[in-house]
């Protein structure tokens, strides 16, 4: 037995007990006649003491030569600590060591294994096994475990059955590129890694499983934006014989349960907003509603003056910044520079101060009088002491730009509090979206999403106006889950493939197995998939998913720790019937 107790376990009630501990040397302090060593494992830190009056010379010499991250085992007696440390759970005691065994020596780590480390992100990713020893990373992984256990317990108690689905599947068009895997036994043919278990969970409903879930890895070979991973984890769920309301109630329940059990927060209301209203009021389909600053459209009150910037714009829109009138001209100029950055892309910003005396002062006073500006304030909900920020231009672009500004201002004003939680359902997404490159419609979610009841006929006359029976669950400005009611009959699914530009042959080749299954009696069904990485990060008070993944990839999709992806040798290529054609 390497240890009788862990390093976070012993208390004053254990004084005079003989114990055995094992762990890593966090640090040591050598005073010549006495050596203190902090011993660390997953559970905490216990202080060891080597005293020349009570410790042999050989053991003192060993203790003085212990380096950081040495793996050691000690035996000794629990004694009361003379100088107690209230910052750690074991701070009332220490171990007077009677036996020391060095289990493994360690070279000096490339960064300090402390809560506040001197290691940069790329360096810590390269030595992730060392980074995991640090409390913040360790606690994030333990937190993730707690969330997944609560998910499994809740769904199991609600009669969901966890079923594993295959990783080696057929390539299907679901929005992003597939990762493909060559088959040695089937020359010239390839598997694909699943972007989601979408078709399999539908087949499970055809199979009568009724309620399915799976905590599952998914894969997308796409260009990585900030905080995305090529492999990610979903809580994938599907239910049969349900309508949209059943889905929303089921997963409101799961979200409410997680917030209560993991965060100790009671959340009753899950407001609902239409997709079109989310775009109009917040500029995106995952609004953070922990604060206001809703958009006010100003076309009617800002155009048709002599200000051509607004007159030539498709949309003039603004937000009221609470207390923003206190901003200096220099601070406002910095905001203007911020929205003009390439990442945001605005050409400029107009502002209007709402003075405490009820008057207004804008950067375009030459074109607008006090009555005009009061209408700006009314449209944006601005009060005395606020600042109105106005952008203009192409409708879709300017909404995205103002959305970015809204989030930046909320961050600066401290309105995005990580311990506050505001869930929101976004409903009725467009079923289809137009792709300029291919000049045809694509499914906004996936080809199996059903249109809203009564809108199938619209596909023939106005495809872009058709709404999907789809919904996203948003938490604190992040999409944590999304799903839809599925098409469950062959005729409607065939019609959908037609409108998405699939020929009958292509549809049969890609999805024939699903269409065949529908002929044997598919029940009405639908579901939702949570992004587990994002959900855990938000519940943990953060938004960076990489901090909650044991071995993440970097922004280039590389695992710098194991140096993957990597070339394979010629013999493997030959076995797989592959030939490389790489342009230098």
Annotated binding site for L-aspartate: 174, 220, 445, 486
Q: Two tokens at 105? A: 């020596």
Q: Are strands 272-274 and 423-427 parallel, antiparallel or unpaired?
A: parallel
Q: Angle 570-571-575 (CA atoms, 0-180°, nearest 5)?
A: 115
Query: What is the spatial distance between Cα 153 and Cα 376, in angstroms, rounded to a whole number?
Result: 51
Of 87, 86, 89, 72, which is closest to residue 35 (Cα–Cα)? 72
User: How long is the chain?
Assistant: 584
Phi first, then psi, for residue 570 (nearest 5°) are: -60, -35
Of 480, 449, 453, 527, which is closest to residue 248 (Cα–Cα)? 527
Tokens 């057929």 belong to: 170
Residues near 508 by beta carbon (within 8 Å), at least 6 away in sequence: 515
**Distances in whole angstroms, Cα of residue 547 to Cα of each of 8, 41, 216, 334, 444:** 24, 20, 19, 31, 30
Of 205, 195, 197, which is closest to residue 166 (Cα–Cα)? 197
**Distances in whole angstroms, Cα of residue 248 to Cα of each of 3, 64, 421:** 49, 62, 18
Which region, left, alpha or beta, applies to residue 68 given φ > 0 means left and ψ of -120 to 50 means alpha?
A: beta
Residues near 290 by beta carbon (within 8 Å), at least 6 away in sequence: 410, 415, 416, 417, 420, 422, 476, 477
Query: What is the spatial distance between Cα 248 and Cα 252, in angstroms, rounded to a whole number?
Result: 6
Of 73, 69, 65, 68, which is closest to residue 48 (Cα–Cα)? 73
* DSSP 3-state of 152: helix
- Looking at residue 72, the DSSP 8-state letter turns out to be E
Tokens 């599907």 belong to: 238
Tokens 């009568």 belong to: 208
Long-range CB contacts (within 8 A, 24+) of 284-287:
284/399, 284/400, 284/403, 285/426, 285/429, 285/472, 285/479, 286/426, 286/472, 286/474, 286/477, 286/478, 286/479, 287/424, 287/426, 287/474, 287/477
Tokens 């937000």 belong to: 319
- Looking at residue 571, the DSSP 8-state letter turns out to be H
Of 329, 448, 450, 307, which is closest to residue 373 (Cα–Cα)? 307
H/E segment holding residue 444:
none
* Residue list, annotated binding site for ATP: 220-222, 229, 479, 531-534
**Distances in whole angstroms, Cα of residue 383 to Cα of each of 300, 332, 414:** 20, 18, 19
Tokens 């023939």 belong to: 460
* Residue list, annotated binding site: 174, 220-222, 229, 445, 479, 486, 531-534
Report H helices in 456-503. 458-461, 490-499
Q: Which residues pair with 443 in a beta bridge?
A: 432
Query: What is the spatial distance between Cα 144 and Cα 277, in angstroms, rounded to a whole number?
Result: 34
């Amino acid at each position: 037995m390497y240890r009788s107790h862990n390093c976070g376990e012993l208390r004053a009630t254990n004084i005079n007990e003989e114990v055995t501990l094992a762990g890593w040397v966090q640090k040591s302090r050598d005073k010549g006649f006495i050596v203190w060593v902090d011993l660390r494992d997953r559970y905490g830190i216990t202080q060891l003491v080597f005293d020349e009056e009570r410790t042999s010379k050989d053991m003192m010499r060993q203790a003085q030569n212990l380096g950081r991250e040495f793996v050691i085992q000690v035996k000794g007696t629990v004694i009361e600590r003379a100088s107690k440390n209230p910052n750690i759970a074991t701070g009332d005691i220490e171990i007077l060591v009677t036996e020391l065994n060095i289990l493994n020596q360690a070279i000096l780590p490339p960064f300090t294994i402390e809560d506040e480390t001197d290691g940069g992100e790329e360096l810590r990713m390269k030595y992730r096994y060392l980074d995991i020893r640090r409390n913040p990373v360790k606690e994030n992984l333990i937190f993730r475990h707690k969330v997944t256990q609560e998910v499994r317990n809740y769904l199991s108690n609600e009669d969901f059955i966890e079923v594993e689905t295959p990783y080696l599947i057929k390539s299907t068009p679901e929005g992003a590129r597939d990762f493909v895997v060559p088959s040695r036994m089937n020359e010239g043919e390839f598997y694909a890694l699943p972007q989601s278990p979408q078709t399999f969970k539908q087949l499970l409903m055809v199979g009568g499983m009724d309620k399915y879930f799976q905590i599952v890895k998914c894969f997308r070979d796409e260009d990585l934006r900030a905080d995305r991973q090529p492999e990610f984890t979903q809580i994938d769920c599907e239910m049969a014989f349900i309508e949209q309301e059943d889905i929303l109630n089921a997963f409101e329940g799961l979200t409410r349960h997680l917030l209560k059990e993991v965060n100790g927060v009671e959340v009753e209301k899950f407001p609902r907003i239409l997709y079109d209203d989310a775009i109009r009021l917040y500029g995106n389909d995952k609004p953070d509603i922990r604060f206001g600053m809703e958009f006010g459209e100003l076309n009617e009150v800002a155009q048709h003056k002599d200000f051509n910037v607004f007159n030539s714009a498709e949309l003039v829109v603004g937000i009221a910044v609470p207390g923003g009138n206190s901003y200096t001209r220099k601070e406002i100029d910095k905001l203007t520079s911020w929205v003009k950055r390439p990442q945001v892309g605005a050409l400029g910003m107009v502002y209007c101060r709402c003075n405490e005396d009820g008057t207004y002062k804008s950067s375009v006073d030459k074109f607008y009088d006090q009555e005009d500006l009061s209408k700006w304030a009314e449209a944006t909900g601005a009060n005395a002491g606020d600042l109105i920020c106005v952008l203009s231009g192409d409708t879709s672009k300017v909404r995205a730009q103002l959305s970015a500004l809204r989030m930046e201002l909320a961050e600066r004003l401290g309105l995005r509090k990580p311990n506050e939680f505001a869930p929101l359902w976004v409903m009725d997404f467009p079923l289809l979206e137009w792709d300029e490159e291919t000049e045809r419609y694509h499914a906004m979610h996936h080809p199996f999403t059903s249109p809203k009841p009564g809108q199938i006929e619209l596909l023939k006359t106005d495809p872009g106006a058709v709404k999907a029976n789809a919904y996203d669950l948003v938490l604190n400005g992040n999409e944590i889950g999304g799903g839809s009611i599925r098409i469950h009959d062959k005729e409607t699914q065939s019609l959908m493939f037609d409108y998405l530009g699939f020929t009958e042959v292509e549809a049969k080749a890609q999805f024939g197995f699903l269409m065949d299954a529908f002929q044997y009696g598919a029940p009405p069904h639908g579901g939702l998939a949570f992004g587990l990485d994002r959900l855990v990060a938000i519940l943990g008070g953060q938004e960076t998913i990489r901090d909650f993944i044991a071995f993440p990839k970097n922004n280039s999709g590389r695992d710098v720790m194991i140096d993957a992806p990597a070339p394979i040798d010629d013999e493997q290529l030959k076995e797989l019937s592959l030939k490389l054609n790489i342009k230098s």
